[in-house]
Amino acid sequence: MNKKTIVVVGTSRGIGHAIVHQLAQQSDFTILALSRDVEKMKQSFDGISNVLCQHFDLSADVANQAKQLFEGISSIDVIINNAGLLVNKPFTELSHNDIASCYQVNVIGVMETVQAAVSKMNPVGSHIVNISSMGGFQGAMKFAGLSAYSTSKAALCSFTELFAEEYKDSTIKMNCLCLGAAQTEMLEEAFPGYIAPVSAEKMAEFIVDFALKGNQWMNGKILPVSLTTP
Ligand SMILES: NC(=O)c1ccc[n+]([C@@H]2O[C@H](COP(=O)([O-])OP(=O)(O)OC[C@H]3O[C@@H](n4cnc5c(N)ncnc54)[C@H](OP(=O)(O)O)[C@@H]3O)[C@@H](O)[C@H]2O)c1
């Protein structure tokens, strides 16, 4: 009775990669792992029979890609929208493309993925978890250089509240986790030398547990998950 189909977006490295490895330990889960770098995913998840790796790019034509990916799936129990794009640049140096790319990958791509998935969500109960950042959490400490990234993550928080309101009478629940620093390639590229207090694996542990159970208690909630950022 534990059988679940779980879609994880952004799984070739970092937190998403750790999420897939942890979910895959439950042999009756089927995990659809989505990222651009399929070769990397195939190498990392080689020999794990309940992980299916597929190409997915949030930067363009997301509606069509998602429709095709979900076509063959009868029912989705959990979606973890984990992929993210971080641009770290002084505000006046941000190009139109820098800003548009952050919004495309972090907001528009997520919304179009969810649009394609809505009719496929398990009617018995399902959970969509959006991965945002403390930078997008209202009132939390902000960092110079992150105006494109953090405003897009704030929009993802807002989308969570709006979707939850629109679907409050359905069995689909959506929540948003605003992560503090976790040690990943993204963090290393954006803030070289910074050592986070939490590993990708440790952060993934919380996300997996929340994604599997959190919909029993919460809907439309924006939750800070941080040891660092006040
Ligand atoms: N690490 C932190 O300290 C931290 C803090 C706050 C929030 N977060 C959030 O947590 C999430 C995971 O972060 P992370 O640190 O693990 O990041 P990461 O190491 O950069 O990994 C991001 C993943 O997203 C995928 N991705 C990026 N652009 C994509 C696109 N256009 N289409 C599809 N997939 C794409 C990447 O795979 P491909 O390149 O193969 O597509 C990669 O697997 C992100 O949403 C991030 O904003 C992280």
Residue 123 is part of a domain; what is its CATH number?
Answer: 3.40.50.720
- pLDDT tens digits for the chain (230 residues)? 569 999 999 999 999 999 999 999 999 999 999 999 999 999 999 999 999 999 999 999 999 999 999 999 999 999 999 999 999 999 999 999 999 999 999 999 999 999 999 999 999 999 999 999 999 999 999 999 999 999 999 999 999 999 999 999 999 999 999 999 999 999 999 999 999 999 999 999 999 999 999 999 999 999 999 998 77
Residue 230 in domain: no
Q: Does ligand 1 have an atom closer than 6 angstroms to the CB of 183?
A: no
Q: Does ligand 1 have an atom closer than 6 angstroms to the CB of 84?
A: yes
Cα–Cα distance measured from residue 124 to residue 211, given in angstroms and rounded to the nearest whole number:
16
159 token code pair: 């989308």
Instruction: Tell me how many domains the chain contains.
Output: 1
> What's the confidence (pLDDT) of residue 24?
98
Domain that holds residue 186: 4-225
Residue 8 in domain: yes
Q: Encode burial over 87-119: b for 16+ CB neighbours within 10 A, e otherwise.
A: bebeeeebeeebbebbbbbbbbbbbbbbebbee
Helix H segments across 139-199?
147-166, 185-190
Q: Does ligand 1 have an atom closer than 6 angstroms to the CB of 131?
A: yes
Residue 173 in domain: yes
- Residue bearing the CA closest to ligand 1, atom 44: 84
Q: Rounded to the nearest whole angstrom, what is the distance from the C-alpha of residue 169 to the centroid of ligand 1?
A: 31
Cα–Cα distance measured from residue 146 to residue 55, given in angstroms and rounded to the nearest whole number:
28
pTM reported for the whole predicted model: 0.98
